[in-house]
């Protein structure tokens, strides 16, 4: 059994993702809109995930000089209760820093009640200095920057500047959004977990040929 678990971890060790300015979340997942959160840096729960903020990150609406709504288009809003094109007119989350020494660790932290291995996120007005980090048991297991998910990450606040990113391939229980400058804005998070038994069974099936060969060798040795 120890060998099976080891192989299963190796099979699912590499982060992979897709990014589309008109794409959307995968079906059959859990979906968080953050619309129930109090505006500001209070945080709270959205479904089975917990949201917390480190200054000056917060839950917001609208646009200011430091943050702007994601731009919804195509399938961006599928499963999140809306069917429209244009600026996100609901609550979304933002993290960022103006370089002030008082706010060196501005971040939005999403903490899940159990380990997940799929994450979808509507990443608004993507900038090169946005960073999304995934952790499992406080260990970094994957990371994406704005430059990874869009060709020209220049903070475009209209169509083409927001992308829906679907991430698979790693197991995580915490996601942290940071930005070295204003701002990292996001909304419409999807997430799900594949049962551990599925991973273990997959690994066991891969090992079946090896197991059978090993048994044949042992049998020959005993007959000898």
Domain 14-193 classified CATH 1.10.3470?
A: no
96 touches 83 (CB < 8 A): no
Write the pLDDT tens digit of every residue in 93-129. 999 887 766 666 789 999 999 999 999 999 999 999 9
**Residue boundaries of the structural domains of the chain:** 14-193, 196-224
b/e burial code for range 54-90 (CB count within 10 A of at least 16 → b): bebbbbbeeeeeebbbbbbbeebbbbbeeeeeebbeb
What size, in residues, is the chain? 224
3-class DSSP state of 101: coil
- Write a three-state SS string for 128-174: CCEEEEEEECCEEEEEEEHHHHCCCCECCCCCCCCEEEEEEEEEEEE
In whole angstroms, give the CA distance from residue 157 to residue 161: 6
Q: Provide the whole-model pTM.
A: 0.81
- pLDDT of the residue at 185: 97
125 touches 162 (CB < 8 A): yes
Determine how β-strand 107-124 pairs with β-strand 184-192: antiparallel
Write the pLDDT tens digit of every residue in 127-182. 999 999 999 999 999 999 999 999 999 999 998 999 999 999 999 999 999 998 89
């Amino acid at each position: 059994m120890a060998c099976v678990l080891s192989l299963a971890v190796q099979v699912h060790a590499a982060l992979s993702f897709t990014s589309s300015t008109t794409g959307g979340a995968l079906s059959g997942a859990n979906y968080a809109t953050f619309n129930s959160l109090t505006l500001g840096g209070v945080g709270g729960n959205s479904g089975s995930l917990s949201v917390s903020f480190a200054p000056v990150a917060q839950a917001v609406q609208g646009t200011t000089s430091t943050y702007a709504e994601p731009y919804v288009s195509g399938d961006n809003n599928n499963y999140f209760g809306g069917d429209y094109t244009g600026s996100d007119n609901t609550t979304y989350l933002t993290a960022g820093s103006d370089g002030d020494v008082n706010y060196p660790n501005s971040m939005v932290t999403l903490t899940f009640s159990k380990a997940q291995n799929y994450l979808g996120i509507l990443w608004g007005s993507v900038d090169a200095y946005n960073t999304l980090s995934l952790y499992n048991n406080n260990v970094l297991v994957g990371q994406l920057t704005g430059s990874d998910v869009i060709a020209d990450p220049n903070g475009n606040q209209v169509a083409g500047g927001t992308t829906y990113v679907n991430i698979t391939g790693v197991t995580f229980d915490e996601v942290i959004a940071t930005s070295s400058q204003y701002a990292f804005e996001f909304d419409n998070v999807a997430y799900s977990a594949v049962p551990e038994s599925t991973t273990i069974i997959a690994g066991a099936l891969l090992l079946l040929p090896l197991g059978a060969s090993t048994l044949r060798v042992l049998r020959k040795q005993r007959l000898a």
